[in-house]
Structure 1
Amino acid sequence: MAVAERLCRYYQTWFSNPSPEADELVALHAQEDKAAYLEKYFHHEVEKGKMAVERFLGLNREWVGGRALDFGCGAGGLTFAIREQTRSALGIDLEEYKLSFARQQAELRGTTDIDFICYPGDRIPAADSAFDVVFCVDVMEHLPKPDESLAEIRRVLKPGGLLLLSFGPPWGHPHGKHTWTRLPGWWTHLLFPQSACMKTIGLPADTTWEQLGLHRLTVSKFERLMRASGFRQLYRQYNIQRPVKWLKHVPGVRDLFISEVVAVYRK
């Protein structure tokens, strides 16, 4: 075992998993028990979705009663929460098996004016100006071409429509690698070579972070993307642990501590 890998493995023993619920989801996914995994994943997303909708309701209510798109909806937990506040809701995602589960839930719940469509990750399957609001929650850091995705979101929003966006932790954060269970160590992805991290996870050494759906989106990169996107910022909040709250105003250093970005934009 290479020195870097040994050090990486040892470093993880200093920390505990900051997201215990992820353990069960990871275990179910590894067992390839899709039914059990989707059931647990969906209800987890429903609770997160309710909190996300409540938060955005507190920031802006113009979108209530409108037509909504949930961009990167997964199994639809957030989409159902959105539908409770809107005229209609469409969820889109790359993974058909999650969308199929979401459709089953809509039928079981008797939820109308909600739909789920699989798309290849490029052009959104909707007409120009089709939506009053687009939700993009916990998705930005997983987009391989976020500039193109933002252009598509802008295309399907009506003039004056809203983009409600949140994501985290960004790449620079101690847990920016999103691998809670196997790499609980703070800043492991920045301190150790990629190959050592992957072997510690149990993957081939040549596996990339991009293959795991992480595209190194820092807060600074996000800001540059949004400045070039054509959207007008109405609100932006950076969440950070209270003891180091003052660091969110320090360029460069802040990228290492901001845990979440919450923002509202207008087309």
Structure 2
Amino acid sequence: MVTQFFCQRYQSLFSNSHPEEAKLVALHSSGRRAEFLRSYFDHEYAKGVQMVERFAAVTREWEGGRTLDFGCGGGGLSLRVRERCPEVVGIDIEDYKLDFARAEAERMGVSGVDFVCYGGGDLPFPDQSFDCIFCVDVIEHLPTPERFVAEFRRVLRPGGWLLISFGPPWRHAHGKHMWAKLPGWWTHLLFPRPAVMRVSGFSPETTWESLGLHRLTVGKYDRVMGQSGFECAHHEYKINSRVAPLKHVPFVREYFIAEVVGVYRNPG
């Protein structure tokens, strides 16, 4: 197919800008689960420091309470949050990652942290169960972000905090979240989906949604949070310094904002 040929050639013009992601993809594809989980956890644990410090720089009022790490994966961030909060619950839909998280918590001698597997629907917690919720690199993978944001508000106590960070958004050059397979900038927007999927090693019928990408744009995220009932305490667009002025230009900014950070308070 002509479009597949040109898509493949387009990738050859770029180098992978995310070598750690390439390593994780290779380990996952090889079936070496133990090695993959080790590398995945180490990546999360190291990045967890950055995430905790990022939110603490905005406010430290979220520290010290019962905290939910939504979409916790292998538990690296959960264990970092535990350093600031006396009780942490990590929740995810992939039980094998949670088994690894539990083993790591035990190996490291960390108490006060629990990991819960659930089916991806409503959160299995009573109303007003938490003082804080972390949602890091997850909301772009949710089919109905507004539904989950409503759930966050339900399980947060009045005055509780919702801390969100995600990226790249859908229209960014790497919004397809495939640095290793598709290093070409804006490949997912420039080429037809079937051709992109073939080049990525998937069936041409594969949809972005089946890969966990629900095309969350900056605009949609802002609308969801604006209608959520949460009070915004901090909102930030991360963008390359060379094109920083573009983050103030409606629509155009969608193609350059690499990450969105938000700190919200539940007014109760």
SS in 1 for 2:227: helix
Partner of residue 154, structure 2: 155
Partner of residue 99, structure 2: 100
Paired residue type of 1:149:
F
Query: Matches of 1:70 and 1:82 in 2, distance apart?
Result: 8
Query: Matches of 1:59 and 1:44 in 2, distance apart?
Result: 24
How far residue 152 of structure 1 moved from its aligned partner, in angstroms, is: 0.7
Does structure 1 residue 110 correspond to structure 2 residue 99?
Answer: no
Query: Matches of 2:114 and 2:124 in 1, distance apart?
Result: 12
TM-score (norm 1): 0.99
Does structure 1 residue 234 correspond to structure 2 residue 254?
Answer: no
Paired residue type of 1:240:
I
Structure-to-structure mapping, 1:1-267, within 5 angstroms: 2-267=1-266
SS in 2 for 1:141: helix
How far residue 50 of structure 1 moved from its aligned partner, in angstroms, is: 1.1
How far residue 24 of structure 1 moved from its aligned partner, in angstroms, is: 1.1
Query: Matches of 1:221 and 1:211 in 2, distance apart?
Result: 20
SS in 1 for 2:257: coil
Unmatched segments (≥5 aa) in structure 1: none
Query: Matches of 1:237 and 1:121 in 2, distance apart?
Result: 28
How far residue 243 of structure 1 moved from its aligned partner, in angstroms, is: 1.2
Q: What whole-Å deviation, never above 9, does each CA across 1:176-202 have from its counterpart, x for those lacking one?
A: 000011100000000000001000001
Query: Matches of 1:21 and 1:243 in 2, distance apart?
Result: 24
Query: Matches of 1:188 and 1:154 in 2, distance apart?
Result: 36
Paired residue type of 1:86:
C
* Root mean square deviation of aligned Cα: 0.6
SS in 1 for 2:173: coil
Q: What whole-Å deviation, never above 9, does each CA across 1:125-158 have from its counterpart, x for those lacking one?
A: 2111111100000011000111111111111100
Q: What whole-Å deviation, never above 9, does each CA across 1:215-258 have from its counterpart, x for those lacking one?
A: 00010010111111111111001010111111001111000000
SS in 2 for 1:174: coil
How far residue 106 of structure 1 moved from its aligned partner, in angstroms, is: 1.1
Query: Matches of 2:146 and 2:261 in 1, distance apart?
Result: 18
How far residue 33 of structure 1 moved from its aligned partner, in angstroms, is: 1.0
Q: Identity rate of aligned residues, in percent?
A: 56
How far residue 100 of structure 1 moved from its aligned partner, in angstroms, is: 0.5
Paired residue type of 2:188:
H
Q: What whole-Å deviation, never above 9, does each CA across 1:29-59 have from its counterpart, x for those lacking one?
A: 0111111100010001000111100111111
Paired residue type of 1:76:
G
TM-score (norm 2): 0.98
